[in-house]
A and B are shown apart, each in its own frame.
Chain A
């Protein structure tokens, strides 16, 4: 396990994969800022980070809002004096809802874009000077959907693809600054995945049928440590990568 002490900010960490990332980072003794819109749940996860040996701090943050992102990043630096890593995990609450490209409401498209894509931009421009100061890392949560598309989730697929493209450019722009930028495409059992299965009863068979590991990943044990690796000094020479943490399910990378 990487033990180099870090101060990291994880968005959308009040549940699901984000919670798993936060706890995994806490297990390494890191300081983890749980940035989420849901204050009470964020505080609960911060307490879980404390319980596993890290230092959990909760902060309310809307990643689509310029002032909110600026406030969150400033709070980290003011309190802990540094920022070693940012993980953009937050995604729209509409992510598991099936849509048709021919009639999807643009208000819904805007919500997907604001959380996933604008959030990627706002966190990047806000955190950049602090990550440059520490030689830090930026990790963006994408998805197999961003590679291969989804017939019933085309907007989710589009924003996940877009995040990967932005990260690819950032890795080249920030390399000279000593900042690494990577993506991870996880497949995990989460409340969002359960909702997606509920919307599409055949989805479970499709998702698991092609997975040679035969199961969904666990957010804490399977996904969190992979993100922790990308944030850590063990990954000092890993840059511009999308790491698939999906049990081998996605046929293209």
Chain B
């Protein structure tokens, strides 16, 4: 049995995380066409059905990240940018977490890793703030539905790709803000996948140097 399945993308931060975890990477499809009618979602739905038929695994990490977004006020985002950063992004999360639900064995663990600007720094990141909260809700939905079979479902958030200097005062408690995927996020993911986190489900760890409280 493959122990860790990684539902991710070709983004280098994702590859770094996948490599450190020794996981098997399966890329969640993207898409260049973002029509309003969601006609682009057919291949994503087919991908989900195909990957769901694979073998069960003990651990699943989910991080279907797109390219690093550009900070911009919502009113300056045109419809195409909105569709790509919000609707397509959410569709990829829905597909990936659906696969995670099916592929994770009884007693296993699922961890979602999502970009999230800290609330103090979230101006200009409306789509990403929305996706982060959507993933939190999806994770908790799965924690509820899969808990009876012993599956734990948690999330790690990171501002690593979104933080810009200078930050809004006051400064973050840890000078290491915004943290790195290869160290800060990796540590949180390892914790949540491990037996040390046996009592944690539906939890969201903000790997952001204390910026979110």
Contacts and interface: CB of A to CB of B under 8 A. Distances in A.
Interface stretch (A10-18, A29-37, A140-148, A223-231): A140-148
Contact of B44 (A106, A113, A168): A106
B41 A149 contact: no
B140 A157 contact: yes
Contacts of B41: 106-107, 109-110
Candidate in A153, A163, A165, A240 with the most chain B CB atoms within 10 angstroms: A165
Is chain B's binding surface mostly helix, strand, loop or mixed? Answer: helix
Candidate in B99, B128, B129, B134 with the most chain A CB atoms within 10 angstroms: B134
B123 interface: yes
A154 B138 contact: yes
B36 A101 contact: no
A113 B134 CA distance: 11
B90 A113 contact: yes
Interface residues of A, number: 46
Is chain A's binding surface mostly helix, strand, loop or mixed? Answer: helix
A154 B129 contact: no
Interface stretch (B3-11, B19-27, B72-80, B180-188): B72-80
B35 to A, nearest CB: 10
A101 B144 CA distance: 12
Candidate in B79, B95, B141, B144 with the most chain A CB atoms within 10 angstroms: B141
B160 interface: no
B140 A148 contact: yes
Interface string B48-81: 1000100000000000000000000111010100
A194 interface: no
A63 B131 CA distance: 20
5 contacts: A113-B86, A113-B90, A113-B91, A146-B137, A149-B142
Given A128-B75, A170-B126, 4 more contacts: A149-B138, A158-B94, A161-B133, A165-B128
